Structure 1
């Protein structure tokens, strides 16, 4: 690569994205890169001493170790331009042997609702129903809206520090905030668009009919959103068909996906999932664009019914978004995988009025899943990483290198681990996040 000439003034202006990461560049290195003309802009970024996974080592049929090697990775225009043999003497940013993994994706979170950035406040009284929480939200939302954009930006920065560069955010659409929660969220995302990607679910948190949100949801569907949401049709809106039909038609009319909250764990939850499966099969354009968040009803089925439901979901290409709950009966994620169901994970609420917990780390969710489902081997630990990366893995099941490849998006983390399995097992610390070719953390 031929270094380009660049003035000190231009270098300082263009390299501001480097300032967030003391892990990769010392002051001396900055001066060296300035002299060489190599700067970390989204047009051109070169890293050396990047640790990548190259294959599995076997004892018979069992994977006992992940093979790795050091490489030079060159980025251009937000994509991987090349992956080359390492040269420790190259004029490039020193990744110091940190492991490069796909950046993490939080696929179920409420960026519009958080206490993060405000003084600590624990959860309120126990055993409040969803309707109780709706009433509470109606009281506090007007005040929270005053600072929601800035708090959302702070929450995004927290996610970035844990290696997350992309999120699917549900946002309140209801009579109290009307469309203001959505507008404030969109401002925050626009302010962070160079360093963070997102898709939005228009979410009727207070029910579609329980608080008369149908017209607001229709307005939101015409705005810059990606999914139509829903909430516990039976317990909140007193019936499955009217609630679900409205969501489905709104998605079809506006060419959006569907992602519904379904906490109902009994017969009504099962019937809602089955109803959605039937409707998606009737409207194949929704296949691969439809998700059930939480889907707690799947936790309490017998083995045969679990297999039947997983097979139906897989055939309809309906995904499940889970927070990997620790309490109660585990989600049947291994069975969902068996039938090809896409499973994504999210933090959901991070220190807000719904939950005191939530660290912001989606890698921690992969670790929790590994513990719940007994994934202790090198192979199994390396596979469950996909729940944190949006189903992108460095190695395929046969140990063939699948990522990164030329032309892939330059969205990745550098992490202090020897391999994916260790990263999951130890929740290894994230050292840097690169999004769209930009070093943002």
Structure 2
């Protein structure tokens, strides 16, 4: 079974012919740094223009971006997806939106600024939906974390460390945002400590950092009681944090940290209901306390319809220990209440059942969590790498499954739907995305090409393009 290209798609070679008719992207690779160690460059059309000078970034809100590679359809053999068909297009971008998607060669309005994407593939914007921008060693000389044996011991270490980190927390947060952009991330959800040591200072510094990047990063904030909501007595500070503009109330291990599950969770839900905020709850506990907490959280959402669609479980490691029947029952309840799951794709003996949850309708997200801090020494802000890890962990090895694996890093936005029809981008969509040297999203997930340019609402926040001369009735490529 095959699908014809959409009416606006010119006929172009499929992926199998893509490489045989293409030269290596030497010019673009040297132009945008794709030849870095550890990265793989895909091929691009042999007629790619050579770099004519320094990279340019549009300074206006209305411009054309030509030779953008978009996915058109899947190629099938006996009902199985064998490859992905792509073609080159020109995007007309106006006021942060994709105004039109034009075939190459179409006429553009006279004098419209015109930039060349060099045949690179456009992927949806990447999303880091669980991170901690407020506390990191990033930007400092290397140091491995000092690990406590329990979460309570780690909290004690943090209580002594925060006063040293706090004075430059805004500066380090901004460095992390720049690292995010270099990996293609322009959407995030950051947890931010609300604790007796830092008070509201961590939040103030994070908000200052985000304000400086308001045009390049859309970031939600979770007021996170890292030292325990009850244990540290910070309910009043959490209320102040909501007044300062956070979107979510956080929580942490109600039994292991707060020692009173129902009281801790009731306080968390009370804060959310009183303030109108959502909830994003860190839950690391194993069974039986972890399972009891999951059931209690779902029950609270079932009893309070205002919270439907506003609650996220972060980590929820206990789900990895459930049998099929228990998992199906909880997944059904989570789906009914639109409770999402944020997982960092942990490695270990308990593999999270993320595909099973997604198949049952649970919205599954991923994030980097700690980024080289006092909790973990790892993390590079690369959400495409998370999609790659997802594909490896769950054996998503063929063209179709690799392409589907991208969804965990993009908020379920994919270039093609399961039937192989164009789902993104479409006219009217935000002009946000990532340009990479790859023939299709499946290859991008498998081979992790460098990010050449990153767009957020039409603005280039990383990398750039070759600037072409404008003129009356300039042709699109």
Normalising by structure 1, we get a TM-score of: 0.91
Tell me what 2:458 maps to: 437
1:178 alignment counterpart = 199
Give the number of the structure with larger relative contact order, counting CA–CA contacts within 8 Å between residues 6 or more apart: 2
**Contact 1:201/1:259 (8 A) holds in 2:** yes
Mean Cα displacement is larger for which, 321-330 or 147-156? 321-330
> 1:81 is paired with a residue of what secondary structure?
strand
- Structure 1 residue aligned with 2:384: 363
The residue correspondences of 1:20-169 to structure 2 (distance < 5 A) are: 22-23=31-32, 28=52, 40-41=58-59, 43-87=61-105, 92-125=114-147, 128-169=149-190
Aligned residue among 304, 312, 318 for 1:297: 318
SS in 1 for 2:139: coil
Matched, 1:387 2:408: yes
In structure 1, the partner of 2:22 is none
Alignment map for 1:186-265 (pairs within 5 Å): 186-265=207-286
Cα offsets for 1:420-439 (capped at 9, x unmatched): 11111112221110111101
Cα displacement (A) at 1:27: 7.4
Distance 1:144 1:22 in 2: 37
Q: In structure 2, the residue corresponding to 1:440 is in which secondary structure?
A: strand
2:338 is aligned to 317
Q: Secondary structure at the match of 2:358?
A: helix
- The whole-number CA distance in structure 2 between the counterparts of 1:297 and 1:423 is 32
* Other structure's SS at 1:341 match: coil
TM-score with structure 2 setting the length: 0.84
Alpha-carbon offset, residue 329 of structure 1? 1.6
Contact 1:414 1:432 (8 Å CA) reproduced? yes
Supply the RMSD in Å over aligned alpha carbons.
1.9
CA distance in 1, matches of 2:412, 2:427: 18
1:100-154 per-residue CA deviation (whole Å, 9 max, x = no partner) reads 01110000000001100111011224x5211111111111111111000010000
The answer to whether the 8 A contact 2:31-2:51 is kept is no
- Alignment of 1:376 onto 2:394: no
The secondary structure found in structure 2 opposite 1:53 is strand
CA, structure 1 residues 213+22, in 2 after alignment: closer, same or farther (shift >3 Å)?
Answer: farther
C-alpha change, 1:26 and 1:196, in structure 2 (3 Å) is farther
Number of residue-to-residue matches in the alignment: 414
Contact between 1:48 and 1:87, CA under 8 Å: does it hold in 2?
no
